[in-house]
Amino acid sequence: MATASFIVPSLACALRSTLLGEDNGLKAARDRPAIAIVKLPSVRPTIECKESRIGKKPVVVPANVNITLEGQHIRVNGLLGELSQTYPNEIKVERDPSGFIKISKAVETRRANQMHGLFRTLTDNMVVGVSKGFEKKLQLVGVGYRAAVEGSDLVMNLGFSHPVRLAVPAGIKVTVEANTSITVSGRDKSVVGQFAADIRKWRPPEPYKGKGIKYADEVIRRKEGKAGKKK
């Protein structure tokens, strides 16, 4: 507080002397030449994007698959049907003279680097899907659990008071063997995987007895049941 009471009157006196034209030692400061301040534009650091390990691999096109490229849009035709995909502007797709499809980055940005490997994988999935297809197998485990295909619906008895009825999406084929083995197949990998997940979520396998709907290659981590009271 003592310092504040000393500084404030000093500033007031200096201001009064300046207004009255008195020379109180500030003349030298006033006579100094003005210093120009130049603001330099900020320079962002250059982003170095590594080449995607998956994205740099060319996509092999079998002889029975036809590819049509129209700008950023691609159509893939094969024995199992047709699939299409539109690429963002950050991704460049071109047909190699040897028959391969090459996916590359149109610009060097972090977003382009993230999408490079993704769209290469999506393109390869389309080629495999229309030529060979994809499938998911599920198994029903439980007393009284069974499934059947009725028209365009999959009907399952899973211990509820009523059967579970699921409409099979377009482009998907569902077969049931021995009432407990379900196979979902189709050309679109994402649709096959999503419909298989929709089936499984009605009765996820429980860890004690393993009852429920599980993928054929799924390993259920079993838990030991609680022991009863000893007499």
Give all strands of the β-sheet with 153-157 in edge-to-edge order. Answer: 146-150, 153-157, 164-167
- Homologous superfamily (CATH) of 59-132 is Ribosomal protein L6 (3.90.930.12)
Residue with tokens 């490229």: 69
Do 213 and 200 form a contact (C-beta atoms < 8 A)?
A: yes
CA distance 78 to 74: 13
What contacts 122, CB < 8 A, 6 or more positions away? 85
pTM for the predicted model, two decimal places:
0.72
CA distance 22 to 13: 11
- CATH fold, domain 134-215, is Outer Surface Protein A; domain 3 (3.90.930)
Domain ranges in the chain are 59-132, 134-215
Checking DSSP bridges between strand 153-157 and strand 164-167, what pairing results, if any?
A: antiparallel
Look up residue 87 and give its two tokens.
């690429």
Q: What is the pLDDT of residues 97-107, one digit of tens each?
A: 888 999 999 99
Distance of CA 221 to the CA centre of its chain: 27
Query: Is the pLDDT assigned to residue 225 strictly greater than 90?
Result: no
Helix axes 189-200, 110-131, angle to 10 degrees: 80
pLDDT, mean of residues 63-85: 94
In whole numbers, what is the pLDDT of the chain averaged over residues?
84
Q: What is the pLDDT of residues 139-183, one digit of tens each?
A: 999 999 999 999 999 999 999 999 999 999 999 999 999 999 999
* Strand residue runs (E) in the chain: 66-70, 73-78, 81-86, 91-95, 101-105, 134-141, 146-150, 153-157, 164-167, 172-177, 181-186, 212-215
pLDDT of residue 14: 58
Q: What is the pLDDT of residues 109-148, one digit of tens each?
A: 888 888 999 999 999 999 999 999 999 999 999 999 999 9
Residue 218: CA atoms inside 13 Å, Cβ hemisphere, count?
23
